[in-house]
A = this chain, B = another copy of it.
Amino acid sequence: MATINDIAAKLGISKSTVSKGLNNADDVSEETRKKILETAVELGYINKRQQKKSKRLCILIENMDYDTPNQFGHDIVLGFKQMAEPDGWTVDIIPISIDFQKLTPYDIFMMQGGYQAAFILGMSLLDPWMQEFRTSAVPTVLYDNYIKSNPNIASVGCDSQEGFELAVKHLVQLGHKKIGLISGPLDSYILQARYQAYLNTLSKYNLEINDNYIGLGYYVAESTKKYIPRLLDEGVTAILFSHDVRAISAITECRDRGLRIPDDISIIGFDDLPMTTYTVPPLTTIRQDRTALGKCGFYALSCLLNKVTIGSILLRATLIVRGSTGPVPH
């Protein structure tokens, strides 16, 4: 374990300057402070003064709402805290913008905060810290993201393949043969995984894979408007959606076009958001148990903190059958 002496020796400065830099004292220049912090991370220094205060974890959130029970992140945060707090951990919830990530290296942020480990929610492949996770020395668990080969990083998420297999099996039992996919763009790990799961599952059920049955677009309402008529023209009778929000937008779009769900078209979402029971008809969807996902996040961090170098934990998906799926139209 590196000491303040090691940092001082490496930089050729005094111990007291190093100590001031590590503790953000005013009388150290910004440039020196930065060098001290970067060297501290490089040498594996642990700030005991901050760490001793308590066992501290953080949940870092970007691009996901979590304040109220009907928001996606709420139950994930809750589940994580339900496991961590009885075990003696303090858990801070911190929104992290892309700009902040550009200013502050991840390992330095964690060291300065005195955090032993982090659970990361909502980042996309475009977030700067996603690059830093490749080499980070901090135990870190990513929800719906995956980093290759770094033993300090693990991934948790819901099994997309299992979810799509349950959905397609249900549709095949209802007589559907042409099954489409409407999804966000493939610029995130999880959307790539769901896209691949869609292809694997159709292939497993010997159903036609056709680019014209697939619609990928960033803006929800716009891509629904564009792809629903296109897929129907192709003879698609059931559509899987990468998220409930897109499936719900499709319900509105179909109603506006005078299409009946499920008589004319069957629709299946992904997530089981609270609002899916209130749509007309209520949405058939693949459920991710968000509280359990939060708990998984803590189990995964516990593994890493105990040097059990797991790569991933996958939570089971379940299919919740409601009113938006029915027999194939004649």
A residues neighboring B (CB under 8 Å): 83, 148-149, 151, 159, 162, 166, 289, 292, 295-296, 299, 302-303, 306-316, 318
Q: A295-B303, A308-B296 are in contact. Are A316 and B149 (CB under 8 A)?
A: yes
Partner of A295, one of B149, B162, B295, B308: B308
The chain B residue with its CB closest to the CB of A313 is: B313
Residue of B nearest to A292 (CB): B308
- Residues of the B chain whose Cβ atoms lie less than 8 Å from the Cβ of A315: 308-311
What is the CA–CA distance of A70 and B306 in the complex, to the nearest angstrom?
A: 24
Q: Which B residues are CB-close (under 8 A) to A311?
A: 159, 162, 314-316
Q: Say how far A219's CB is from chain B's closest CB, in angstroms.
A: 32
Could you tell me the distance in whole angstroms from the C-beta of A216 to the nearest C-beta in chain B? Answer: 23
Residue contacts A-B, CB under 8 angstroms, 27 given: A83-B306, A149-B166, A151-B316, A159-B312, A162-B311, A292-B307, A292-B309, A295-B303, A295-B306, A296-B303, A299-B299, A299-B302, A299-B308, A299-B310, A303-B313, A308-B315, A309-B315, A309-B316, A310-B314, A310-B315, A311-B314, A311-B316, A312-B312, A312-B313, A312-B314, A313-B313, A313-B314
Extra inter-chain contacts (18) besides given A296-B303, A299-B308, CB under 8 Å:
A148-B162, A149-B162, A162-B311, A292-B307, A292-B308, A295-B303, A296-B308, A296-B310, A299-B299, A299-B310, A308-B315, A309-B316, A310-B313, A310-B314, A311-B314, A311-B316, A312-B314, A313-B313
From A83, A151, A162, A316, residue with most partner B Cβ within 10 Å? A316
Number of copies: 2
Q: Which residue of B lies closest to A298 (CB)?
A: B308
Q: Given the complex, which residues of B lie within 8 Å of A159, measured CB to CB? A: 311-312
**Inside 8 A of A166's CB, which chain B residues have their CB?**
149
Assembly CA distance A303 to B302 (angstroms): 12
A149-B162, A162-B149 known; A303-B299 Cβ under 8 A: yes
Scoring A159, A295, A308 by chain B CB atoms within 10 A of each residue's CB, the highest score goes to A308
Give the complex CA separation of A306 and B316 in angstroms.
14
Expressed in whole angstroms, the Cα–Cα distance for A166 and B318 within the complex equals: 33
